Amino acid sequence: MQIYSIITGSGKYIPDIVVKNEEFFNHHFINENGVTLSKPVPDVVNKFQEITDIKERRYLSPEYNTSDMAFFAAEKAIESARIDPETLDYIIVAHNFGDILHNNIKSDMVPTLASRVKHLLKIANPNCVAYDLPFGCPGWVQGVIQANYYIKSGDAKTILVIGSENLSRIADPHDVDSMIYSDGAGAVILQAKESNSPVGVLCHKTRTDTLNEAHFLKMDISYNPDFGNDSLFMKMNGRKLYEYALNTVPSLIKETIEKSGVPLLDIKKVLIHQANAKMDEAIIQRTFKLFEVELADSSQIMPMTISKLGNNSVATVPILYDKIMKGELDGHEIKSGDHLVFASVGAGMNVNAFVYLVP
């Protein structure tokens, strides 16, 4: 008998505030050189939608913060798994900016968000270790990978892994890329399972590229020279990011699938970070080409939520998983015996993936 890590419950928190693309029509967009965009703003917004497929996104209400979303998602995951929170061995919270007040965009990470979540869950057990994992958008996937190590080593039996992010509050309102960002949280409970045959997390792979790629995503001041203060916002080099993703993610997914020993055509779903629909489509098509397999229609194997939820960083993959598990994504289901690939790419630059066999 060997020990494997299986997901026994999941949960999510999707904020109530819906922001449609039309709400950006009155924005004053400026490029990185401080020059106002020459095209009419509605044309810019419509082109943005064509490329990303984002039609609307969710913003967090002023009274809540990133740690609150993490707590809400955690409660649902704990309820779904039917466990006593006091039995948790670890709480891992993936995020990148900590808590950010709606009227003060400075990051607050002390205490850690994981400690805040543990406090909100009213867990007294001191052996429940709570820590944060800042790893760019792939943070939640990496959290599952770390949790799998703890479980397989015998160090833990039950772990809560959360991805929570509040991007709307660190988005430069004068940057077109601000339309990509959204808020949300997703969580899963991973538990140890003894089995004679492989189940749960089968294998994983991660890479970090920093020689030339470290600053494709970075923090910088507003593109508006008259913004009024030196607040830092998230900035991205979209072209470089797109090229990096296409050059690294397909090959890493291929290596991970090959490492698992699972035939490509046995993979039922690829749950990939919801960053940009055009980019994700290119990634899945290139992945299949690396296997010398033609993929005519990616819609069944690669479910998407970005059109309605935007890009909420570490939360995109666990939210996607939970929506499918709860029957909330039309045309998609996950059944026992299905092989899944979870994958992400983001700041660092980091790329990761794991193959999962549904028990």
Q: Choose between 59 and 104: higher pLDDT.
A: 59
Residues of the chain with CATH 3.40.47.10: 2-195, 200-357
- Express each pLDDT in 117-129 by its tens digit: 999 999 999 999 9
pLDDT in tens, 158-214: 999 999 999 999 999 999 999 999 999 999 999 999 999 999 999 999 999 999 999
Per-position b or e across 174-194, b if 16+ CB within 10 A of its CB: bbbbbbbbbbbbbbbbbbbbe
d(CA 53, CA 283): 15
pLDDT band of residue 133 (cuts 50, 70, 90) is very high
Architecture of domain 200-357: 3-Layer(aba) Sandwich (3.40)
| Bond before 111 cis per omega within 30 degrees | yes
Long-range contacts of 215-223 (CB under 8 A, 24+ apart): 216/240, 216/241, 216/244, 216/347, 216/349, 217/136, 217/241, 217/346, 217/347, 217/348, 217/349, 219/170, 222/172, 222/173, 222/174, 222/175, 223/30, 223/31, 223/32, 223/34, 223/172, 223/174, 223/175
Q: Where in the chain does DSSP place strands (E)? A: 2-13, 17-20, 56-59, 90-94, 99-101, 104-108, 129-133, 158-166, 183-195, 200-208, 217-220, 233-236, 267-272, 339-346, 350-357
Fold (topology level) of 2-195:
Peroxisomal Thiolase; Chain A, domain 1 (3.40.47)
| CB proximity list for 184: less than 8 A, separation 6 or greater | 12, 13, 14, 15, 58, 69, 164, 165, 309, 312, 315, 316, 319
Q: What is the pLDDT of residues 316-338, one digit of tens each?
A: 999 999 999 999 999 999 999 99
Residue type for 158, please?
T
pLDDT average, residue stretch 265-274: 96
Q: Average pLDDT of 130-139? A: 97
The pLDDT of residue 296: 85
Q: What is the pLDDT of residues 207-228, one digit of tens each?
A: 999 999 999 999 999 999 888 8
Averaged pLDDT of the chain:
95
